[in-house]
Amino acid sequence: MSLLPSFFMVQLAFAPLPFFVANALAEIEVETSIEGASMFRLHFDLSRNVIGDFDAIMIDLFRPLVPIRISLSFGLGLPMTLINGFVRDIQLNVSNTPGGSRLEVVGADQLGTTMGHIQIPIPWPNIPDSAIVAAIFGKYAILPAVIPTPPTRTILDTTTTQQDRDNAFLQQIASFHSYHLFIQPDPIVGLDVGHFMPMAMMTALPPQGVLSIDFGSQTNLTGFSLTNQMLRPATAISVFPESNTRAPIPIVVPAAAEIPMGREPSLTRIIPPPIEVETSNDAANVAEKTLQAIARVTDSARTVRANGEVDGLKYSRPLLPGLPVLVRGAGNQHSGLYLVTSVSHRISRDGYTQSFEALRNAVGLTGAEIFVDPLGPVT
């Protein structure tokens, strides 16, 4: 049974897989995302040994929460870490056919494992949400990459009290501010970095590459499709009582708080613009209510959702979620800048492919796009 290509590495408890386990490894799937926990699946082909047991699991290596690191190098020398995860499930399928038995080991990063173990109420008085996020990341030795949020609460209003597990509480904070919260390892060092930031910060970064569909010798996409929910965007109007006088304060949000990723923002394409009345009453003060309304309008403007499949070997590096990418060959309306939200890596003996999902809040080319990939192949 042949091994996987040499540029893929799997470490179990910070050590390489034993030879008899690596020899049974048939396929690796890694799903990285900025909208939830990242996961991995290891598929093993099982065969019987001389004592009648399955060779790859005759030693109980895949125990609960055993750390696993999956990396690749593409011949560049330094392996790039795709995911640091922990074992959470195994699935065993036993067959009467020789060589038909399979084992699947499933794991997730700390958002999907260790951060969901303990539920203890914790008060966070007079602390902005971004500082709470950084403190929780620090509990798990995760380096925080946190964009500050304004301090809207004091003990005169209310005290933030955490009732949920850490992962659920972090997602609540991220949803409140319309931030993205995810864990992604530093590709070179391999240490986990916890990200808490608005989409506007991510789309302002330089594009990580160029994806081309139906573009001659530079084509590196084997498929691309998208959906535009054109009636999804909405402006917001609300009224909130001021905490001291109880006087009603009007709150009006007429536009999204993000730079358009194309020539025509999704919200301005609808005439007249839709209006949504914000009626939720879970804000502590006018400032929080305003932030909630801004987050709602900003999220509604992300109408374009795309997905595609990348030729992993031709693209020559992993596509990373949380970074923008340029797409060309999809027509004037739908080529341009996208934010990658998730990537599924599939590694097998037959090759390597990447499937991705991406979003944008506008359509059309701005004219400022430079479709040059400095890391792409020379043609």
Indicate the CATH number for domain 205-228+303-363: 2.30.300.10
Report the largest interatomic distance among the alpha carbons of the chain, rounded to a whole angstrom.
81
Q: What is the pLDDT of residue 356?
A: 96
- pTM of the full predicted structure? 0.86
Q: What is the pLDDT of residue 5?
A: 44
Residues 6+ apart with CB under 8 A from 347: 4, 5, 8, 27, 28, 29, 30, 72
Q: What does the alpha-carbon distance between residue 323 and residue 325 come to, in Å, rounded to a whole number?
A: 7
Q: What is the pLDDT of residue 63?
A: 93
Residues of the chain with pLDDT under 50: 1-6
Q: What is the pLDDT of residue 4?
A: 43
Q: What is the pLDDT of residue 187?
A: 83
Assign domain 115-201 to a CATH class.
Answer: alpha beta
- Residue 318: DSSP 8-state: -
Q: Compute and round to an integer the Cα radius of gyration of the chain.
A: 24
Q: Are 235 and 297 in contact (CB under 8 A)?
A: yes
Q: What is the pLDDT of residue 316?
A: 79
Q: What is the pLDDT of residue 2?
A: 37
Q: What is the pLDDT of residue 37?
A: 93
- CA distances, 7 to each of 2, 3, 39, 76, 313 (Å): 14, 11, 20, 9, 11
Q: Are 234 and 254 in contact (CB under 8 A)?
A: no
